[in-house]
Amino acid sequence: MLKGKKALIVGASRGIGEAIALCYAKEGADLVITGRNMQTLVPVLEKLKALGANAYAIEWDVSDVSKGPDVMKKAAEYMGGLNVVVNNAGVIDREKFLQVREEEWDRIFSVNVKGAYFCCQSAANYYLENNEGDFKGKIIVIGSECGHQPHITPYGISKWSVRGMCLGLAKVLFKHGVVLQNIAPGPVTTEMMLWEEGKSDAWNSAFGRMAHPDEIADLAAFLASDKSNRIAGMPIYINGGLNY
């Protein structure tokens, strides 16, 4: 489904990002993966190469927005082009409202909002400056179902911002041949969700469990394909209908 695609997965050292990278590799895409620590990227890179993928890794903390344009350029040099960028980088907080500190707010927003915004900007600028034709590329943002619920935590509020950002950017970018899409998962069995020792993945859904990263990755693969070129902006929820 993705043969010939050149994809950059931002935040791919574990969880959903790793699952998306592995899924893309199986579907035939060339890949560059990024994360804050090269040590955690290497095992993922080895898995991708074992699948026969043309794959590379770049160390990048997405909150360092100044590096975004260089990462896009370097990824394109590695792969001989770039036409899919997945922004999966994200962090979560554990504090209750009355205990939230300013530095915690800044940490969450620097990655989840500022990092996402400028990652999208860097990808769009690369596409518009380097890719020809009416369709220039895809940006897929991994948000959260939190984006349509009332929230009092920095994480939840940051995902409201991501939802609004995706709706706004998609409308503008589509006119220029850049398709921006937004996946909004519910609870997923990742280290970020199952952080507490002994915490169960049981959830109030028809399946009696959280979603698995592979299930998010399957949708991300469809969105990266040419079969989804008219889907833009609106969040696609993967949450078992929990909040409808």
**Catalytic machinery residues:** 155
Distance CA 54, CA 56 (A): 7
Measured CA to CA, the distance from residue 201 to residue 58 in angstroms comes to: 32
Q: Which of 185, 190, 159 is nearest to 238 (CA)?
A: 185
Question: How far is Cα 158 from Cα 155, in angstroms, rounded to an integer?
Answer: 5
**Helix-then-strand count for the chain, H and E:** 7, 7
Which tokens sit at 134? Answer: 């009416």
Q: Using CA of residue 63, residue 86, residue 141, residue 18, what is the dihedral sign?
A: negative
- From residue 105, alpha-carbon distances to 91, 111, 154 in Å are 11, 10, 6
H/E run at residue 154: helix 154-174
Q: Which residue has the tokens 């800044």?
A: 106
What CA–CA distance (Å, rounded) separates 112 from 160?
Answer: 10
List all residues 6 or more positions away from 152 whose beta carbon is below 8 Å from its beta carbon: 97
Q: What are phi and psi of 141, to 5 degrees?
A: -105, 125
Contacts of 92 (CB under 8 A, 6+ apart): 108, 155, 192
